[in-house]
């Protein structure tokens, strides 16, 4: 098996471990796919089981991205595309084979993968600005967008190799693809886009009220 293919496969399988789903079922007997936002990820876990369990889920999801990058570099580090093992982990989180390809949004896993190649000053800036945006808006979608933009700008500012920029763009694309169904649902009516960015969970409120 070619090293790059093996790294991508391992990355996907690591990413597809549904920690939030496992924690929710084991601790509270909750099926995340049937409650709240129906998102099998950290944010929905936090809403249903509390901040402590949500934080644990977030750390585990973050670790999936780190682990995928570590293994990807060890297995296929000589290949210029080895970093895509981290992107494969995000894809595994978002579309896990174990849950019929219904997962989360992949933000924590993407941050873990990006942390492997980013220097600590870059990460510190991203986390600091992300925290401010989240506190001011309460909007995780906007926070993620700002975080990716800031990371891309900082990578260029410090002269990181172009392949690292492409890698971060691939992470952003994977997160966007998972988020797009929610956004597109809000694009159908005039003024709904603004409402979505003010309250991304509004789309789920309509679903669960039926």
For residue range 60-74, what is the model confidence (pLDDT) as tens digits? 999 999 999 999 999
* Confidence (pLDDT) at 209: 43
Residue that the structure tokens 């998102």 belong to = 39
pTM for this one? 0.83
Of 49, 6, 1, 2, residue with least CA distance to 24 = 49
DSSP tag of 83:
T
Q: How far is CA 2 from CA 6, 7, 76, in A?
A: 6, 9, 9
Q: What is the pLDDT of residues 120-137, one digit of tens each?
A: 777 888 888 888 887 887
Beta-carbon neighbour count of residue 52 at 10 Å? 10
- Using CA atoms, how far apart are residues 5 and 10, in angstroms rounded to an integer? 9
Domain ranges of the chain: 3-208
* Confidence (pLDDT) at 196: 57
DSSP tag of 41:
S
Q: For the chain, state the CA radius of gyration.
A: 17
């Amino acid at each position: 098996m070619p090293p790059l293919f093996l790294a991508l496969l391992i990355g996907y399988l690591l990413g597809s471990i549904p920690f939030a789903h496992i924690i929710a079922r084991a601790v509270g007997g909750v099926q995340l796919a049937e409650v709240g936002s129906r998102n099998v990820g950290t944010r929905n876990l936090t809403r249903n089981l509390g901040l402590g369990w949500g934080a644990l889920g977030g750390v585990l999801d973050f670790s999936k991205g780190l682990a995928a990058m570590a293994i990807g570099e060890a297995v296929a580090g000589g290949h210029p595309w080895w970093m895509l093992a981290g992107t494969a982990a995000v894809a595994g989180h978002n579309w896990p084979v174990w849950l019929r390809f219904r997962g989360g949004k992949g933000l924590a896993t993407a941050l873990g993968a990006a942390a492997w190649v980013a220097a600590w000053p870059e990460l510190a800036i991203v986390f600091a600005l992300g925290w401010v945006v989240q506190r001011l808006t309460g909007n995780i979608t906007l926070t993620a967008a700002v975080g990716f933009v800031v990371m891309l700008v900082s990578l260029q500012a410090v002269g990181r190799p172009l392949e690292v920029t492409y890698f971060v763009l691939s992470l952003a694309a994977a997160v966007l693809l998972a988020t797009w169904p929610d956004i597109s649902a809000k694009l159908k009516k005039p003024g709904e886009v603004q409402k979505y960015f003010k309250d991304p969970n509004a789309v789920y409120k309509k679903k669960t009220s039926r």
